[in-house]
Amino acid sequence: MNLVVDAGNTQIKFAVFKGNLLLHTAVGSQEAFAESVKRVFDKYPGITDALISAVSHLEPQSVEILSVFCKVYVLSPQSRIPFKNSYATPATLGPDRIALATAAFYHNPNGNTLVIDAGTCITYDMVNDYGEYLGGAISPGLYMRYNALHKYTDKLPLLTPEAILDFIGNATETCMHSGVVNGISLEIDGVITQYRSRFRHLTVILTGGDAQFLSKRVKNTIFAHSNFLLEGLNQLLDYNKS
């Protein structure tokens, strides 16, 4: 069995795989990392290998803690990847985007795939039908946009995402919701349209913490897949073990 650890900007996710089958997921924090690892191994003592992917700072002792239980790989620009990487600055390519490109490569072999990860940031990652990672885009996510409206103005409140009844807001809060929710939905639709004008038979995968909220508001045909990044990390672990 494999354990993959996704240390994101807001939380740490743990996922256990047996082959390609996802058996277990859990969420933890940096402060409770040791306790979270122990709980996973108490439940799944058959785990033999683990992969850590960190887009935010992860304490060095986290690797040491995990190494007590199994063999540990740390995802980095030096890790082996199954696709051709044409990113101009591969050393700056985040491990989350490497994992998403890997999942796209295996999910749609010989096809064009755009992966949209709606998390703290919204990332767009493109793998073409030659198995080549081209890059994409990065923009602010839902909560980052709400926080920016509040932080960089004097009187706008801090809101959380809500569905909008009309794109024309009739009060300050509904105007803010329209600006953020409608703005992101139109952005995603516009980006998909751009990519479809260049790549035929494009498959679009929407994933990340805000994927379900946004999937209902995107007009283009997409596939919502909440565990796409975790699957990519598991595939990378298997690829680096071989």
Query: Known catalytic residues?
Result: 96
Instruction: Work out whether strand 121-127 and strand 132-140 pair parallel, antiparallel, or are unpaired.
Output: antiparallel
Query: For residue 42, which phi and psi values (nearest 5 degrees)?
Result: -65, -35
CB 139 within 8 A of CB 187: yes
DSSP 30: S
CB 220 within 8 A of CB 192: yes
Residue 24 pairs in a beta bridge with 16
Report how far apart the first and last C-alpha atoms of the chain are (Å, whole number).
14
